[in-house]
Amino acid sequence: MTGSKFSRRTLMQGGVGLTIANFLPGTMPFAQAATMEESTIAAAKTVQATDVSGMIWSPYLVPMQPVIADFKKATGIGVGAVQDISIFDAPQRAMAEALSRSPQFDFIHIDSNMIPSLASAGYLEPLDEYMKKADFKIEAVADYANFMTYKGQTYGIPTDGNVHIQYVRKDLLEDADNKKKFADKYGKELKFPQTWEDDLKIQETLMDPSKDLYGSGNLRNRANGPTWWYMIFYSAGGFTFDDDMNPTLNTPAGQYAVDIYLADKKVAHPESAGWGTPQMIPRIAQGHVVSCQYWDGTAKLNENPAKSKTTGKWLYGLVPGSDFSGKRIHRSISSPLAAILINKYSPRKAQAAYLALWLGSGKNSIPIVSDPVNTFHDVWAKEQLKAPQVIKAYSAPAIKAIEANFEVVSPPTYLTGYLEFQDTLGKNLSEAYVGQLPAKDVLKKTEEEWAAIVKRIGRSKLKSELASYKAVMPKRDMPA
């Protein structure tokens, strides 16, 4: 295994680390621990002190190091060897580990939408007993903690929210000439988009390719494109399966989502079909985009004057909704949602579990999500929303938008076989986007392929998981 050993010294950088003295239990009885952090340390001190190994992408690990060092100082449990694997490549590797029942990694940091697949393969350790011993709760915004559960048990601790929010160029929206142009064309006021159709009209009207300004900053590549289709599909009242696990994509709601998804092509950069975040995020921050739905952490880059040409020029809000079902529904999405999962076959699973709880407390997560340099971890906890350093990093309007979108956040297909469902949908959507597959055939082809996946995995098995999938779906049509 290719790994690295991190220093055992406390890594205190610019005040980011926590004050350990306040958390050390000392002679205080376990039951009298006053805070969740103290309780977690007290519980962790009941197991042998040792370093744990993990699979985690370095951009996520680096801002965690000071908080990990605090835990090491308090409990003797730290992070030793790690394998640096991208969050996008980790699911395939994790499934290989699960199938071989490998004890190699004590924890994995991965998209939590993999929980059903990994739990059903027997790889994941339930965390509820550790949480009970540590008096720990996932104090997430809205119902976001549900994303960590499967069949009534908790399997993950989030570190990164990755919820999508709406971005619109404020300076372009408030420009007098743009206001007149839009009113003349559509007979209504130019304002923050409420529906997918509104957003497309704004993008079409305000884009100016001669100035390298394109309407949309959304992704349409194979790996990430389905994220946007799901938002549109869910907001149109669609859902992926019926109660017998028959795919329900080839429906009016599904076709509506495909039509909106493909309409993006006329307002997007002509070379963007294969772009991912490394290409698109800099274009957003440098002012080459009118509007988009994007991961919330992009706001940190936009509002950083050292990295952005558009600081102070953005409006943030709720992603567009749809009236297609007969009522207005808004659906954001979180994918990939980075979380710490524990290997059931690890001889150090208890140590890894308590470390995960420590990293996932609201207080400890604040320096992680507000790191000004390593910005991969995005807001997800209630306590983060009111932390001055977090508000400064994102801006108060962005924090308000993040909170609103968490109230209507959805998953992709939260079932065993997630990778296959996602890749098949992404392949067909991307082929339609570049003209290799007729738009009318996307859903029919995807349904046929999804039906084959259901048959291979087992209809009865997947039917038993539907309740967990539905439990993760939002309970309201728009934020309260």
330 and 346 both lie in a single domain: no
Q: Distance (Å, rounded) from C-alpha 238 to C-alpha 230? A: 9
Q: Are 110 and 79 within one domain?
A: yes
Q: Which of 473, 480, 461 has its CA nearest to residue 120?
A: 461
Domain final residue, candidates 349, 373, 398: 398
Confirm whether 6 is domain-assigned. no
463 and 322 share a domain?
A: yes
Same structural domain, 147 and 217: no
Identify whether residues 196 and 278 lie together within a single domain: yes
Same domain as 390, residue 324: no
Q: What count of other Cβ atoms lies within 10 Å of the Cβ of residue 453?
A: 18
Per the domain annotation, does 5 fall within a domain? Answer: no
In a domain, 353, yes or no: yes
Instruction: Identify whether 404 is part of a domain.
Output: no
Instruction: Quote the DSSP letter at residue 222.
Output: T
In this structure, are 233 and 184 located in the same domain?
yes
On whether both 169 and 311 belong to a single domain, the answer is yes
Q: Tokens for 172? A: 């372009």
Q: Is residue 48 part of a domain?
A: yes
Of all residues in the chain, what percent are helix, strand and coil, respectively (each to 5)?
Answer: 45, 15, 40
The answer to the question of residue 56 being in a domain is yes
**Which structural domain, as residue segments, surrounds residue 216?**
164-334+411-480
Q: Write out the chain's pLDDT in tens, 480 residues.
A: 444 444 333 333 333 334 444 444 443 444 454 799 999 999 999 999 999 999 999 999 999 999 999 999 999 999 999 999 998 899 999 999 999 999 999 999 999 999 999 999 999 999 999 999 999 999 999 999 999 999 999 999 999 999 999 999 999 999 999 999 999 999 999 999 999 999 999 999 999 999 999 999 999 999 999 999 999 999 999 999 999 999 999 999 999 999 999 999 999 999 999 999 999 999 999 999 999 999 999 999 999 999 999 999 999 999 999 999 999 999 999 998 899 999 999 999 999 999 999 999 999 999 999 988 888 899 999 999 999 999 999 999 999 999 999 999 999 999 999 999 999 999 999 999 999 999 999 999 999 999 999 999 999 999 999 999 999 999 999 998
Tell me whether residue 444 is in a domain: yes
Query: Residue 255: inside a domain, yes or no?
Result: yes
Alpha-carbon Rg of the chain, whole angstroms? 23
Based on the domain organization, do 320 and 466 belong to the same domain? yes
Distance (Å) of CA 150 to CA 128, 226, 408, 431, 465: 12, 22, 19, 33, 8
Q: Is 441 helix (H, G, I), strand (E, B) or coil?
A: helix
Q: What is the CATH number of the domain that holds 324?
A: 3.40.190.10
pLDDT for res 88: 85
Question: Within this chain, do residues 241 and 200 fall inside the same structural domain, yes or no?
Answer: yes
Q: How far apart are CA 387 and CA 16, in angstroms?
A: 13
Q: Do 346 and 308 belong together in one domain?
A: no
Question: Are the C-beta atoms of residues 333 and 415 closer than 8 Å to each other?
Answer: no
Number of domains in the chain: 2
pLDDT of residue 258: 98
480 and 357 part of one domain: no
Q: pTM score, two decimals?
A: 0.91
